[in-house]
Amino acid sequence: MEYDLGLVLCAVAVVFIAGVSRALVYLTWRPYATTMAFRKQGVGGPGYKFWSGSNEELKSMQREAMQLVLDNHCHDITLRVQPQYRKWISQYGDVILFWFGPKPRLLISDPEMVKQVLANKFGFYHKPEVPSAIWALLGKGLVLVEGSEWARHRRVVNPAFKMDKLKLLTGPMAECAKSMLEGWSDLAVQAADGRGEIEVAKQFQELTADIISHTAFGSSYVDGKEVFFAQKQLQMLAAASILDIEIPGHRYLPTDRNITKWKLERRVKNTLVRIIRGRLEASNSSFGNDLLGVMMEASQQQRGQTMSMDEIIDECKTFFFAGHETTSHLLTWAMFLLSTNPDWQERLRAEVLQECGLQTPNADVLNHLKLVTMVLLETLRLYGPVVQIARKAGKDMVLGNISIPKDTAVMIPIMMIHRSKEIWGEDANEFNPLRFENGISKAAAHPNALLAFSIGPRACIGQDFAMLEAKTVMAMILQRFSFSLSPKYVHAPVETLTLQPQFGLPIVFTPLHAPH
């Protein structure tokens, strides 16, 4: 018996020593060897610290940057949002090695290298691991799935985003916007000076949520508000955990954060199931041709482009969030830029009135709003909702002339690239919509320099929807109101997965016409 116990203890000791050895290799030798391999290729960076990598330096810079308040005309918001990338690029150049804990990350800001990563058609660059809160927020939908699963999902939902179908949605989009703008008019009428003040960031969140509910899911903001409310809280949880190094198994522990996350997940799922069940009960021979209908038709297929009910729920999570979050921030920042550039506000208003007067703009009118389009593109350049893109090498790769080992994360700092003077010219930090006068491909030194919707096979499937929606709403605002920044506004952009004004966007607006 003592002999058996000795063997057991010996085996435990061997396993323990082997585990410690692997951990030490992972936490010390591997980072050292990786650093040396990149250094030989001329790639530098902030250096690796045991366990934390570059995280402590990164968090320290971000905490300090969050104390900054910018001038309203300062568009170099990297000072506040991406101070670490700003510092590292100035120190180390366009290719930088840094560390997320013991995991290497390669920051690339050269547009040709970015194109090689994002436009790769062979799936050599995958989506990296994300915090469990992001899975809870987006589900296993189009944004996060990979390979053949992604291709199948894309084929299923693609018909819902064809331009001929999207053009039919401008009417419902306008109806939703009209309801919001009538509220603005009522507010101004009640004011002694005939001017109203409103925090438009929250208004646009509710509006775009209403629009995606109506146009993609055949419901309303009231029906979907449980989803949006829960997703907003999940977004905050995800943003708070984005720099945390997850310990294996931690996501399954009943911590306060995990318990909150699980409750929110259940709330989202229960609401989505109710919406889907309502469509099932209401359908006769067809589920409809909106996004939900297209997915539900796919769930009835026996082979080929099929989609399970769990997959439909996950795609609903993705499109409920992405379908309103990005456009609401595009509208918010466009209002900010037009408020601080009244000459451009007048130019856009003149264009809208010339093309459609006071009539509700339709798809054909929107197609002729060149100046509005240019301003929205410049807004996406300066204040795009997504500030960086992440990929992971699925095998050993050569990027430019840099050899990248398998599983290395590749970070693309959109915000920094959008402000590069080498790419965009000396006025890169200035608001100049005329740079897009001849289209996106000719706006900069590289044809793929605008990355707001990404590029390549994984480019945002909803970008045409978002632009139609933004143009519809912006045109209707310009028809009805002039507007300026409230003195209460504080220019403090912040990233919480998406870029938004930390303290909202209070706007003072004046109706241009007497209410009917």
Give φ, ψ of 267 to 5 degrees: -65, -45
Alpha-helix runs per DSSP H in 66-169: 78-81, 83-92, 111-118, 132-138, 147-157, 163-166
Q: What is the pLDDT of residue 264?
A: 92
Q: What is the pLDDT of residue 8?
A: 66
pLDDT of residue 18: 65
Tokens 């504080």 sit on residue: 490
Count the Cβ atoms, other than its own, within 10 Å of residue 19: 10
Contact 417/111 with Cβ under 8 angstroms? yes
The pLDDT value recorded for residue 306 is 76
* Rounded CA separation 53/477 (Å): 48
Compute the distance between CA of residue 384 and CA of residue 427 in angstroms, rounded to an integer: 17
Other CB atoms within 10 Å distance of the CB of residue 57: 18
- Summarised one tens digit per residue, pLDDT across range 375-413 is 999 999 999 999 999 999 999 999 999 999 999 999 999
- What is the chain's length? 516
User: Following CA atoms 369, 370, 371, 374 in sequence, which dihedral angle do they give, to the nearest 10 degrees?
Assistant: 120
pTM for this prediction? 0.94
pLDDT at 140: 92
What DSSP assignment string belongs to 303-340?
SSS---HHHHHHHHHHHHHHHHHHHHHHHHHHHHHHHH
Binding site, annotated residues: 460
Q: What is the pLDDT of residue 21?
A: 66
Known binding residues for heme are 460
Kindly report, residue by residue over 256-285, the tens digit of the pLDDT: 888 999 999 999 999 998 888 888 877 666
Tokens of 327: 């456009």
How far apart (Å, rounded) are the C-alpha atoms in residues 38 and 108?
13
Q: Which residues in the chain show pLDDT less than 70?
A: 1-3, 5, 7-9, 11-16, 18-21, 25, 220, 249, 283-285, 302-305, 515-516
